[in-house]
Structure 1
Amino acid sequence: MHIVGFILIVVGISLFFVQRHQKQRAFSLKSARPTTVAELQQTAGAIAAEIGGGSWRDYVKVVGQISCDRPLVSELKQEACVHYKMTVTREYEETVTSRDKDGKTTRSTRRSSETVSSNQQSVPFWLEDATGKIEVDPQGAAIETIKVLDEFRQGEQAGNRLNFGQFSFTLSPGSSGRRTLGYRYKEQILPLGRRALVLATVSDGVGSLVLQKPLDGSKSYLISLKTDEELTQSAEKTAQAVFYGMVGCIVLGVILVVVGLVT
């Protein structure tokens, strides 16, 4: 019983960090200054005229439409985008032998999976509102994507190559005793033309204005297709729900540990 208690305490501690992250995101959304591209350009110009450019930074949130001069093409669906993430997973069955406390041996079939290929890429892009456009460097951002592919193709792959559209991958020899059921292909993208909110630091350090990852690690860097209100409410509700789960796990875990040690 005390072992279960220790596990619950560990889960509770993990939930503490999840809750802290969600609270930090909600605070970042509330503390960032809402602005437009034109306002950022005017502020940067005024500061550069007074003290010189290259050192101005501010924590802001900007809403605009995504565009890109040289967009990516996603590997699986071949969709134009500024960010994509893809995974190819092999699903298989294998026979597992187990032995109980009496020494009796049983065999059962277990279904599992393994990732055979995964990749993600991002490119800088423009965020354009009614007043102008600004470059976004997505490096280090938490990027919200949309799912464009989740397909399972049944059966063993002929030969040692996996093919899906333009995607091709050389398979390594599989483990003996595993029967391949098929391959699952998943892909998510941040597409062109969508309206997005970028929560970031604006900087003129490279000679032009760029939205980028904050130097302060306590500030979130987020590229989202949701509205400011939706993001804030979601973070606050998640933080509250996780808090109750954290308290419940820790309290119950302590009780089980005490009971287990006493009895």
Structure 2
Amino acid sequence: MFIFGAILLVFSLLSLITAIAFIFGRRETLENIRSIKSTETSTVGELQHLRDAIAKELGKGGSFREQVEVKGMIRSNNPTIAQLSQRPCVYAQMTVLETYEETYYETDNEGNEQRKTRQGSTILANSSLQINFFLEDETGRIEVNPNRANVDLIKVVDSYEQYQGNPTLYSGQFSCNVNPQTFDNKRILGYQYNEYILPVDTKVYILGEVSDSQGSLVIQHPLNPEGQFIITHKSEEQLLQEKESVAKQQKGCSIFAFGFSVFCLILGILIVFASY
């Protein structure tokens, strides 16, 4: 009885930690929502005019810095090419997994060995590419540096290839020599290809900080480490709906975790005291 009560007290602590994590996560989500709602949409022309006015007033440039919200099309004169899909883009993430099946033995409560199988995977390739690009609206273009941005990517490759014994994998511009080690208890099944990109000529919503500290206007990650930097192909309305839904889920999960923590705490204390 005492051990069971102690286990409940441990569960109470873990549930309390989980509740606190959901509370802080919800706080961050609500801050994202506040930033999106409180920042008015600017055009590229308006930002350039504001920068010029501040530079004229101060007698020099390089001092303009402001949180902004812009909407427009992704443009690039020299886009990167995604390895698997070979599509021109400004941001790409690619993963290739080798899947396998292996045999293992497990001893039951009676000391007998049972032969079982399980599937797993190992990462053969994992890469991420990003380049600066331009956001273009009806009033002009502005450079965007996506470094450290929360980028919402589009899945363009999700394919599976069964293992045929070939020594080299090919997909788009990707190639990889494979030499699967063969064991009596392991069998290679195949290869899973996944790729996510932010294509050129895609309409995007960007929330970030604009600055002319390097001479020209650039939207980038805010100097404040807690500042918001979002690049998404979703509309502002879709983004807000998603984040408000997440905030509701986080609130519900935090309430449930806290309630479960209190339940385990009370029950655990009663059982511990009853065992004496």
Query: TM above 0.5, one fold?
Result: yes
Letter in 2 for 1:194: T
Partner of 2:35, secondary structure, is helix
| Cα distance in 2 for residues equivalent to 1:142 and 1:182 | 32
Residues 178 and 253 of structure 1: is their aligned pair in 2 closer, same or farther, counting only changes over 3 Å?
farther
> Are 1:46 and 2:53 an aligned pair?
yes
Preserved contact between residue 26 and residue 251 of structure 2 (Cα < 8 Å): yes
| CA displacement, residues 27-67 of structure 1 (integer Å, 9 cap, x when unaligned) | 22122232100000000001001112101100010001111
Deviates more, 1:71-80 or 1:245-254: 245-254
Residues 7 and 27 of structure 1: is their aligned pair in 2 closer, same or farther, counting only changes over 3 Å?
same
Offset at residue 88 of structure 1 (A): 0.5
> Are 1:237 and 2:245 an aligned pair?
yes
> Are 1:190 and 2:202 an aligned pair?
no
The match for 1:170 among 165, 177, 182 is 177
Offset at residue 185 of structure 1 (A): 0.1
Preserved contact between residue 180 and residue 188 of structure 2 (Cα < 8 Å): no
> Are 1:143 and 2:143 an aligned pair?
no
Residues 174 and 15 of structure 1: is their aligned pair in 2 closer, same or farther, counting only changes over 3 Å?
farther
Question: Over aligned residue pairs, what C-alpha RMSD do you find?
Answer: 1.9
Letter in 1 for 2:32: R
Preserved contact between residue 65 and residue 129 of structure 1 (Cα < 8 Å): yes
Gaps in structure 2 of 5+ consecutive residues? 1-6, 272-276
Letter in 1 for 2:85: K
> Are 1:208 and 2:203 an aligned pair?
no
| CA displacement, residues 170-195 of structure 1 (integer Å, 9 cap, x when unaligned) | 34654843211111000011011111
| Cα distance in 1 for residues equivalent to 2:44 and 2:129 | 26
Letter in 1 for 2:196: Q
Match of 1:179 in 2: 187
The match for 2:24 among 14, 17, 28 is 17
Letter in 1 for 2:53: A
Partner of 1:33, secondary structure, is coil
Gaps in structure 1 of 5+ consecutive residues? none
Partner of 1:217, secondary structure, is coil
Partner of 1:34, secondary structure, is coil
TM-score by length of structure 1 reads 0.92
Residues 118 and 8 of structure 1: is their aligned pair in 2 closer, same or farther, counting only changes over 3 Å?
same
- Quick check: which has more Rg, 1 or 2? 2
Preserved contact between residue 82 and residue 122 of structure 1 (Cα < 8 Å): yes
Letter in 1 for 2:169: L
Offset at residue 237 of structure 1 (A): 1.9
| CA displacement, residues 204-251 of structure 1 (integer Å, 9 cap, x when unaligned) | 111000000011122210001111122122212211211111120122
Partner of 2:61, secondary structure, is coil
Letter in 1 for 2:170: N
Partner of 1:109, secondary structure, is strand
Match of 1:31 in 2: 38
Residues 157 and 24 of structure 1: is their aligned pair in 2 closer, same or farther, counting only changes over 3 Å?
farther
Match of 1:70 in 2: 78
> Are 1:112 and 2:120 an aligned pair?
yes
> Are 1:61 and 2:69 an aligned pair?
yes
